[in-house]
Amino acid sequence: MDIVVTIKQVPDPDIPPHHFKVDEANKRIVGPPGVAPVMNGYDANALEEALRIREKQGGKVTVVTLGPDGARDTLKRAIAMGADAAVHVNDAALLDRGSSLTARVLAAAIQKIGPFDLVLSGRQASDTDAGLTHILVAEALGVPAVSPVSKLESVDAESAVARRAVDDGYQRIKVRLPALLGVSSELNEPRYPPLKGIMAAGRAQIPVWSAMDLNITDLEPRVELRRLYQETREARVELIEADSPAEAGTKLADKLREAGLV
Partner 1 sequence: MAGVLIVAEAVSGALAPSTLELAGEGRRVAEALGEPLIAAIAGTNVRGNEAALGEAGVEQVYLADHSGPGVPSPEWTAAAVVAAVKQAQPSVVLISHSAAGRMLAPTLAARVQSGVVTDATRLRVEGDRVIVTKPVFGGSVLSEQVVLANPQVVTLRARSFAAAEPQPRNAAQSIALQVPEAAGGLEVLEEIREESTSGPKLKDAKVVVSGGRGLGGAENWHAVEELAAVLGGAVGASRAVTDAGWISPSHQVGLTGATVAPDLYIAIGISGAVQHVAGISGARNVVAINKDAEANIFKYARFGVVGDWKQVVPALTERLKQLRS
What are the residues binding ligand FAD (CB under 6 A)? 13, 41, 124, 126
Which one of ligand FAD, partner 1, none is in contact with 123 (Cβ closer than 5 to 8 A by kind)? Answer: partner 1
Nearest to partner 1 of 1, 136 (CB atom): 136
The CB-of-173 to partner 1 minimum distance in angstroms stands at 6
The CB-of-217 to partner 1 minimum distance in angstroms stands at 16
Nearest to ligand FAD of 122, 178 (CB atom): 122
- The helix (H) or strand (E) run that includes residue 54 is helix 41-57
The CB-of-167 to partner 1 minimum distance in angstroms stands at 5
d(CA 215, CA 226): 29
Q: Which residues contact 28 (CB under 8 A, 6 or more apart)?
A: 22, 228
Nearest to ligand FAD of 41, 197 (CB atom): 41
Per DSSP, what are the bridge partners of residue 176? 159
Enumerate residues 55-114 that contact partner 1 by CB under 8 A: 98-100
Which position among 2, 73, 139, 213 is part of the footprint of partner 1 (CB under 8 A)?
A: 139
163 Rama sector, left if φ>0, alpha if ψ -120 to 50, beta otherwise:
beta
Nearest to ligand FAD by Cβ — which residue? 126
| Cβ atoms within 10 Å, residue 90 | 19
Q: Which residues contact 240 (CB under 8 A, 6 or more apart)?
A: 248, 251, 252, 255
149 near partner 1, rule: CB under 8 A: no
Which one of ligand FAD, partner 1, none is in contact with 69 (Cβ closer than 5 to 8 A by kind)? Answer: none
The CB-of-179 to partner 1 minimum distance in angstroms stands at 6
Are the beta carbons of 80 and 198 closer than 8 angstroms? yes
- The helix (H) or strand (E) run that includes residue 162 is strand 159-166
The CB-of-18 to partner 1 minimum distance in angstroms stands at 9
Q: Select the span of 50-58, 74-82, 209-217, 235-243 touching partner 1 (CB under 8 A).
A: 235-243
Size of the site for partner 1 (CB under 8 A): 84
Q: Which residues contact 212 (CB under 8 A, 6 or more apart)?
A: none
Which position among 13, 32, 194, 207 is part of the footprint of partner 1 (CB under 8 A)?
A: 13
98 Rama sector, left if φ>0, alpha if ψ -120 to 50, beta otherwise:
left
Which position among 140, 200, 204, 211 is part of the footprint of partner 1 (CB under 8 A)?
A: 140
Nearest to ligand FAD of 90, 121 (CB atom): 121
d(CA 101, CA 97): 6
Q: Select the span of 56-64, 65-73, 77-85, 161-169 touching partner 1 (CB under 8 A).
A: 161-169
User: Mapping DSSP to helix (H, G, I), strand (E, B) and coil, where does residue 111 land?
Assistant: helix
